[in-house]
Amino acid sequence: MQLYQEQTVRIHNSLTGKKETFIPLNEGQIGMYVCGPTVYSNVHLGNCRTFMSFDMIFRYFRHLGYKVRYVRNITDAGHLVDDAEDGEDKIAKKARLEQLEPMEVVQRYTLDFHNILEKFNFLPPSIEPTATGHIIEQIEIIKEILKKGYAYEINGSVYFDVVKFNKSNDYGKLSGRKLEDMIANTRELTAQDDKKSPQDFALWKKAEPEHIMRWPSPWGDGFPGWHLECTAMSTKYLGETFDIHGGGMDLKFPHHECEIAQAEASNGKSPVNYWLHANMLTLNGKKMAKSTGNSILPGEIFSGENNILSKPFSPSMVRFFMMQAHYTSILDISNDALLASEKGFNKLMEAINSIKSLPEGKKTNFDINTWRQGCYDAMNDDFNTPILIAKLFDAVKHINLIKENTESITIEDKDLLLQTMQNFTFDILGLENKKSSNVDSEKLSGVVELLIQLRKEARENKDFATSDKIRDQLAGLGIQLKDGKEGTTYSL
């Protein structure tokens, strides 16, 4: 029996606004699509948080025994500056500014994206398709929408007719917006506008002579609208209806709303059963923005080369910090928050490292199986990583009491405790326990053991000043001595 047959997962569905029991279309199999990055600059820390949330969800479903096809795209064309309907493509603009070919820009920042995600210990998606690799599929969808009468071509561009679509469908059901309100709150079209209504969006844009990224189509040379690529790639690899579609909260409207409209217009089916949206990341209580200087790149956190944080922080520690907030909550990153999180991270790793050496007793003082199910209950409740981490620290408390011989644990329960801690900490949360090399560890251990012996001799000679000095100076270096019945031990 697979774990997913024993555990019931409930997730918050943005489409209904409710927490629902997750039931996949096909038993034991999950199709999940997540909107990937537009590769025209270094990956943003806030984007990393979104992708990290879905990496965690991907990991948990795999742990439960599901076969997951996880598709996360690369947007390398069709995304206009400021998400506008007119203007310059983000990648083409960057290429012009840096005097590069657009695909050089794409290659540079795709490599950066993969490099940062690898440092954060992401699992690669099952498929990572690109927008430019699916131009044919996008053109075919446009043809179908035109055929159904939900789009119109004018001057070499094709637009989705939102007003007509809304007569028989519900445009705005994901974001909770009403088309009448949207129309009332938008500007009038100017004489230069090709669109029938301000709410209409581009399926295909005519390429002006200066536009670098262009492809031939039945309507002339041009490029696809931004929203279309995800409809093309998700349906190609996951089918006309699939289980989960994820992305950042900022994509709910208009991007995901337009995806739903395109899919329903082209094949008459609702494309996704469960929509999941991850919330934003702020820095020192404010929105991240390069223009105000209130921004920081992942690499700058890892290296410490920034004017915001007091020291470097490891990728795994930053991942731990992000997992301490629910994926649907706004999370604020600051120097104090990272320092506090680092203490907890080190405490957790120290506890896990010490489990194998715990003394074994004839009984266990806490209910391992109930605690273990509590870890699953946290993840089953819309992937509640903050509650899971609290459960892991419940175990840390017991581990420390066992080390002090205040509690005991049987050999069977010790094995189950170690397996469970490793499963949830490393396999599901995706944290890494990177230790120093064995040689360095042995050298450090030898030096500390020597100092412990010198301290013991000082105490026996009633030289408490020297004894305290050794203890305090080691503490200042982050090495904590612990005196117990069996002698003195240390922890980092």
Residue 457 belongs to a domain: yes
Are residues 304 and 218 located together in one domain of the fold? no
pLDDT (0 to 100) of residue 146: 98
Residue 433 belongs to a domain: no
Task: Please identify, among 215, 249, 278, the residue that sits at the C-terminal boundary of a domain.
Answer: 278
Give Cα separations from 47 to 91, 202, 283 (angstroms).
17, 25, 13
Q: Is 469 annotated as a binding residue?
A: no
pLDDT (0 to 100) of residue 437: 38
Q: Going by C-beta distance under 8 Å and a sequence separation of 6 or more, which residues neighbour residue 72? A: 33, 34, 35, 36, 51, 54, 125, 127, 128
Q: Is 245 annotated as a binding residue?
A: no
Are residues 274 and 209 located together in one domain of the fold? yes
Q: Is 230 annotated as a binding residue?
A: yes
Nearest-angstrom CA–CA distance, 376 and 337:
27
Task: Please identify, among 243, 278, 313, the residue that sits at the C-terminal boundary of a domain.
Answer: 278
The reported pTM is 0.87
What CATH number is attached to the domain comprising 301? 1.10.730
Are residues 289 and 332 located together in one domain of the fold? yes
Residue whose tokens read 């819309």: 382
Residue 53 belongs to a domain: yes
Q: Which domain holds residue 364?
A: 282-428
Are residues 356 and 453 located together in one domain of the fold? no
Are residues 152 and 15 located together in one domain of the fold? yes
Are residues 291 and 274 located together in one domain of the fold? no
Nearest-angstrom CA–CA distance, 185 and 202:
20
Are residues 286 and 274 located together in one domain of the fold? no
| pLDDT, tens only, 311-358 | 999 999 999 999 999 999 999 999 999 999 999 999 999 999 999 999
Locate 404 and state its tokens.
């002090």
Radius of gyration of the chain (CA): 27
Locate 487 and state its tokens.
């002698």
pLDDT (0 to 100) of residue 449: 84
Are residues 362 and 215 located together in one domain of the fold? no
pLDDT (0 to 100) of residue 85: 64
Q: Is 6 annotated as a binding residue?
A: no
Are residues 274 and 286 located together in one domain of the fold? no
Backbone angles phi, psi at 265, to 5 degrees: -70, -35
pLDDT (0 to 100) of residue 80: 65
Residue 335 belongs to a domain: yes
Are residues 177 and 127 located together in one domain of the fold? yes
Residue 114 belongs to a domain: yes
Give Cα separations from 457 to 450, 469, 474 (angstroms).
11, 13, 17
Are residues 388 and 315 located together in one domain of the fold? yes
The 10 Å Cβ neighbour count of residue 445 is 11
Q: Is 375 annotated as a binding residue?
A: no
Are residues 260 and 172 located together in one domain of the fold? yes
Cβ atoms of residues 159 and 196 within 8 Å: yes
Nearest-angstrom CA–CA distance, 117 and 315:
9
Q: Going by C-beta distance under 8 Å and a sequence separation of 6 or more, which residues neighbour residue 465? A: none
Task: Please identify, among 247, 278, 309, the residue that sits at the C-terminal boundary of a domain.
Answer: 278
- Domain total of the chain: 3
Residues of the chain with pLDDT under 50: 191, 436-439
Locate 280 and state its tokens.
């934003």
Cβ atoms of residues 68 and 126 within 8 Å: yes
Residue 161 belongs to a domain: yes
